[in-house]
Structure 1
């Protein structure tokens, strides 16, 4: 954790007292992490097409409880076509309570994939067996967040307020199933429900962290996403991780697993083959905190 140095220097120059420096230093802190990892996973799904990724995470916390964050991660352009190859997360929230007992948080967040979009059919004519009404959809999502925690146990709920959650609409879900499913029946059933978006989707997370040794901790996670209007995109994810603090770095190993309803929604065309992004995997990463 780094205390912001510029406000400290300004306070010293203006006030000329150590007390002013101390008050300013206590007002807000900033943490910045840079992580190199063998795979970029979000809710158990690979965003980097099972390739290495780099993540920058900055978090600013004020003593009042206000908190802001910025995260930039490398993602696959094959999964997020026409994009810049980056995922940007912005968040602003407020936390209160006792860190050793009950503590809570509320906030809003946006996950952005600059330039990334796709075209897909939003209707399907059964009489001619042809798709129609092609529309363009992006992957950007906006959320409202509430968390309730007790000690090391953290529970979190996100509510999607944007039109879609990561491109989940009739074209993104039904169209992907029609394109890749071996049996088109489920895709035609999906189209039969009409043209919908996924505003109102809900994401749930439960995390627990325990210290095994002074420099080693264990992380346990289970999550579930309930995608509005598209039960095919619902799934549950699991994670077990270990972190070891050594030589000024955090060394992490995490096992990810998912239980998806329609695996074709998590398949990506890579050259002449399909690659599944929802497979179980062990991910190694190293984090440097500034």
Structure 2
């Protein structure tokens, strides 16, 4: 499953409980390494359309407690001043029938060590210039609800942190002001006042259909509704195949994203502007240990 101490405690509980009750309980730890041609989160590239590496460690206790640690390489030009990776921590509880109705609840947080940006949070009307420059981090925290029936999986994330990946007045309005040729929309954004994005909703729906014992069809649809900033709302869709062979999982998928304000999904690469929300064919290979 996608605040900090709460998640750490849940992960610790998932790992420690079996040691305390080894005679009556069991647990499993799965480690997976994935190489990707592009790392997408909700249809938007975190690696600026370039290859990335993902390491995931999940602990699952037979009681239903789960914990997740995930490390991904990310672009320093998408997440400014970052150390080049992000860390996801999650923990919670799953229950129900895997072939019927099943549910999950939990908490999660993602951290981008070193990553931050500076942007104006207001416009000085007398001077007609940006003002109130502040630094913002990209770190986010979520409450998570999962609801599924068989191969159909739904997930709802509610943002608990002050911002979702830096979406605040400086991050949204400031980006529009810097990259748009027409400042009208950016000025209207500033006119709404200084806000964060706590309360954002992230929705996902996925379906897996087995085509053979080794091949699965994967369908996904998602929607992001950003609190206070409708400009950042968007939907994403993907269709792909997973094939198991030689002990690896081989994946190929087509990803398409429907954004409202393209400037919010642009990364500055030297003197080039690179879109991170474009349609993309992505391949990956993973191995569990």
Is the shorter-chain TM-score for this pair beyond 0.5, marking a shared fold? Answer: yes
Q: Which aligned pairs between 1:1-290 and structure 2 lie closer than 5 A?
A: 23=23, 27-290=26-289
SS in 2 for 1:70: strand
Partner of 2:8: none
Where do 4+ consecutive residues of structure 1 move more than 2 Å? 125-128
Partner of 1:16: none
Question: Could you tell me how far apart the structure 1 residues matched to 2:134 and 2:271 are?
Answer: 26
Question: Could you tell me how far apart the structure 1 residues matched to 2:74 and 2:111 are?
Answer: 11
Pairs aligned (count): 273
Using the TM superposition, give the Cα deviation of residue 50 of structure 1 relative to its aligned residue in structure 2, in angstroms.
Answer: 0.8
Unaligned runs of 5+ in 2: 1-15
Question: Could you tell me how far apart the structure 2 residues matched to 1:129 and 1:256 are?
Answer: 41
Question: Could you tell me how far apart the structure 2 residues matched to 1:280 and 1:212 are?
Answer: 25
- 1:93-121 C-alpha deviation (Å, 9 max, x unpaired): 10011111000000000011011000000
Question: Could you tell me how far apart the structure 2 residues matched to 1:174 and 1:151 are?
Answer: 42
- 1:161-186 C-alpha deviation (Å, 9 max, x unpaired): 00000000000000000000121110
Using the TM superposition, give the Cα deviation of residue 271 of structure 1 relative to its aligned residue in structure 2, in angstroms.
Answer: 1.1
Question: Could you tell me how far apart the structure 1 residues matched to 2:124 and 2:174 are?
Answer: 13
Higher-Rg member (1/2): 1
SS in 1 for 2:189: helix
Using the TM superposition, give the Cα deviation of residue 127 of structure 1 relative to its aligned residue in structure 2, in angstroms.
Answer: 3.4
Question: Could you tell me how far apart the structure 2 residues matched to 1:93 and 1:41 are?
Answer: 24
Partner of 1:3: none
Unaligned runs of 5+ in 1: 1-6, 12-19
Using the TM superposition, give the Cα deviation of residue 126 of structure 1 relative to its aligned residue in structure 2, in angstroms.
Answer: 3.2
SS in 2 for 1:31: strand
Using the TM superposition, give the Cα deviation of residue 30 of structure 1 relative to its aligned residue in structure 2, in angstroms.
Answer: 0.9
